[in-house]
Amino acid sequence: MSLILQKIENYDQFVQAFKRLSGLDLKLYKENQMKRRINNFINNHGFKENYDQFFQAITGNKELYNAFFKHLTINVTQFYRDERLWKVLQTKIIPELCKNKQFLKFWSAGCSAGQEVYTLASIMAEYFPDIKYSILGTDIDVNVLKQAKEGIYEERDFASTPGYILNRYFNRVENKYQVKEILKKNITFQKHNLLTDRFEQGFDLIACRNVVIYFTEEAKDILYRKFADSLSPGGYLFTGSTEHIFGKNNLKLKSVGSFFYQKQP
């Protein structure tokens, strides 16, 4: 059965049809930026802003659908992105968490192909070898999650990675690098939509970085509220290096240094 019976005449109708097809509600992303990205993709693929023809094309062509989804979700990332903030995490945040806990529960929300997850795992392995932990890595894009599970990366992904971390926790395979099994053992990757799916509870640290930049202000408000609920008292939210949370007092989240927010009891 066709997912759409009526001809798609405009952007709004395309957004509705795409939500039925993919589960991704583009209305929760900033319209100007999203529209521009979508129109660029459609035009570059020869559809000249003909939403109807483009929708029929992605419905019948998995490769084009995947390329479009990837274009929308923007999954650029790297290991130790904003290295100085990972240093703060290593020297201040994790030691603070370890004072009261034997087991730490982490979540990388919008983890792309896993670089952020393995960055955190390498810090735990290198500096906190006696602390038990789990890391949940989630993303809406199943293609990046596939790469995350394989754990194979290009050299350019490691531009900010300390050399000793690369040598200890990755194997060189031809001209790429593969995560060693020792780093994978406490990690689970799962598909998850931050705008619609249920959140697990009891996290000590949630890293949600460079994910919300295209979300509307309303969508961000709801998201930060849900993150606050998902954290254990004393747990931390780690945001991207351009992302500030407004109205954070209402959320029981207190800023404790740039881009780290702590849940108040």
Segment near ligand SAM (CB under 6 A); pick from 58-66, 122-130, 188-196, 252-260? 188-196
- Closer CB to ligand SAM, 62 or 99, in the complex: 62
Handedness of CA 165, 171, 177, 180 (dihedral sign): negative
Q: Which 101-140 residues touch ligand SAM, going by CB under 6 A?
A: 110-112, 116, 139-140
- Closer CB to ligand SAM, 98 or 123, in the complex: 123
- Residue 209 within binding range of ligand SAM, rule CB under 6 A: yes
Q: Which 4-63 residues touch ligand SAM, going by CB under 6 A?
A: none
Q: How far is CA 226 from CA 24, 73, 150, 217, 257, in A?
A: 18, 21, 30, 14, 21
Q: Least distance from C-beta 218 to ligand SAM, angstroms?
A: 14
Q: CA end-to-end span of the chain, whole Å?
A: 51
Residue from 93, 94, 120, 141 binding ligand SAM (CB under 6 A): 141
Q: What distance in Å separates the CA atoms of residue 12 and residue 10, rounded to the nearest whole number? A: 6
Q: Least distance from C-beta 91 to ligand SAM, angstroms?
A: 20
Q: Which amino acid is at 91?
A: T
Residue from 15, 73, 239, 261 binding ligand SAM (CB under 6 A): 73
- Pair 107, 186: CB distance under 8 Å: no
- Residue 211 within binding range of ligand SAM, rule CB under 6 A: yes
Residue from 59, 178, 193, 255 binding ligand SAM (CB under 6 A): 193
Q: Can you read off the two tokens belonging to residue 81? A: 């992105």
Pick from 106, 111, 104: nearest CA to 138: 111
Residue from 17, 51, 55, 77 binding ligand SAM (CB under 6 A): 77
The residues near 260 (Cβ < 8 Å, ≥ 6 apart) are 88, 89, 93, 236, 237, 238, 239
Interface residues toward ligand SAM, by CB under 6 A: 73-77, 81, 110-112, 116, 139-141, 144, 192-195, 209-211, 240
